Amino acid sequence: MLKGVMFDFSGTLFRVESTAEWLDGVLADAGQVLGAAERAGLVRRLEWFGALPGGVAPSEVPAGLQELVDTRDLTPELHRAAYTGLTRAAELPDGVSAEHLYDRHMSPSAWAPYPDAGPTLRELRRRGIPVAVVSNIGWDLRPVFREHGLDPLVDAYLLSYELGAQKPDPRIFLAGCEALGLAPQDVLMVGDHLEADGGATALGCAFHQVPHLPVAERPAALSPLLDLLPS
């Protein structure tokens, strides 16, 4: 019987703002205005290279960046270097900084919970089912949960950059199960990525996949997992 749940972060419980919103926030902070055509072109280039962490996946990784991208979630330094590299590949105009863009994506205000994230976590807490967040990430996401009032509903955070292992490495899932005090066969992993998050099945965990969509387009993908858990 399932007794605990591990959740992915980005694309599962939360979604980062759109690339356009991300860029506009930085432009506003810098007091800079781009013409409509220039702004639209820059948004397209940023999305082409997957420059926004948690946003659109890259269509192209520039030469020399692939290894960095593949290992980006192992340390904060690798994560920053990978994403600022992808951002610079988009050919930023004068006055728009890759470092400023990177820093913005770590702000709690850049992230929004999916509509059913809070209700689902609260129901799990009511049932006495422990919860861990297991994320491939290069920075501390705990302030995002605190800002949105969800931190009290999470029992443990297993972050790749703190563990030195990234999904689908079984070590990160095993650490999650151990933090919950449960055997893998008693734990459900919930995530949007079949390969990375679904890697938990190698340990014997169950897996529930959700689609990685903008918040407004995914109102109730988490709620069905409650039917898989004891009431």
Per-residue model confidence (pLDDT) at position 81: 98
Residues 6 or more apart whose Cβ sits within 8 Å of residue 129: 3, 4, 5, 229, 230
Report which of 200, 199, 197, 201 is spatially closest to residue 210, judged by C-alpha positions.
197
Q: For residue 206, what is the enclosing H or E element? A: strand 206-209
Residue pLDDT, tens place only, 165-200: 999 999 999 999 999 999 999 999 999 999 999 999
How far does CA 214 lie from the centroid of its chain? 12
Residue 126 — pLDDT band, cuts 50, 70, 90?
A: very high
Residue pLDDT, tens place only, 73-114: 999 999 999 999 999 999 999 999 999 999 999 999 999 999
Residue pLDDT, tens place only, 24-56: 999 999 999 999 999 999 999 999 999 999 999
Q: What is the pTM of this model?
A: 0.96
| C-alpha–C-alpha distance, residues 114 and 97, integer Å | 29
| C-alpha–C-alpha distance, residues 223 and 135, integer Å | 20
CB 148 within 8 A of CB 108: yes
Q: What's the mean pLDDT when you consider all of the chain?
A: 97
CA dihedral 83, 47, 162, 204 (to 10 degrees): -140
Per-residue model confidence (pLDDT) at position 124: 98
- What does the pLDDT average to over 7-28? 98
Top-level CATH class of 4-15+111-228?
A: alpha beta
Per-residue model confidence (pLDDT) at position 191: 98
Per-residue model confidence (pLDDT) at position 108: 98
Per-residue model confidence (pLDDT) at position 84: 98
Domain positions in the chain are 4-15+111-228, 16-109
For the CA atoms of the chain, what is the radius of gyration?
A: 18
Question: What percent of the chain has a predicted confidence (pLDDT) above 70?
Answer: 100
